[in-house]
Amino acid sequence: MNVMRDAGCSVLHVPIAFKEGHNEIGASAGILAGIAEGKTFTKDTWSSEFHPSMAPQPADLVVEGKKGLCGFFSTNLDFLLRQRGIKNVVLAGFLTNCCIESTMRTAYEHGYDVYTLKDASAATSVAAHEAAFEHNFGMFSTVSTCEEVAAAVGGA
């Protein structure tokens, strides 16, 4: 992320957090139901904190309102991107085949040029990660690496 910051790129973080009790979640099955059942990503607890190595820096933007899988749905992400005239979106994070994929597809449909970082995202298994990139990501984004994007922004 520092390479992007140093190159003058905007860095946006899209955290997910729920009020204690997870009343925002109505799903009875799937990953959101599992989040509610496990009481994970509870606001103002360790499970919703940024890891220190990924913590937002003063100039970074933190997207608000993520309550589901896609970084756009229910958030201010599109507003923040458009207000800054951003046309290229570089995605990294967790879960490759869930949140990253949902956000990638929506960014693509909103007309952004999307780049997904294969070496800066992860799934619950290597097989799931590889399958997402092999079968889906090339339809909606340019599959890239951190090194390739760093070179493209002049950081390497």
Q: What is the mean pLDDT of residues 50-68?
A: 95
As a whole-number percent, the residues of the chain with pLDDT over 70 amount to 99
The pLDDT, as a whole number, for residue 17 is: 95
Q: What is the mean pLDDT of residues 35-60?
A: 94
Check residue 75 and report its DSSP letter. Answer: S
List beta partners, residue 115. Answer: 90, 142
- Could you report the per-residue pLDDT of 127-140, keeping only the tens digit for each? 999 999 999 999 99
Q: What angle do CA 4, 5, 8 make, to 5 degrees?
A: 90
Q: What is the mean pLDDT of residues 68-83?
A: 97
* Per-residue pLDDT band at 154 (split at 50, 70, 90): confident
Tokens of 75: 């958030």
Rounded to the nearest integer, the mean pLDDT of the chain is 95
Q: Write the CB contacts of 71 (distance below 8 Å, at least 6 apart in sequence).
A: 14, 63, 77, 99, 102, 103, 106, 107
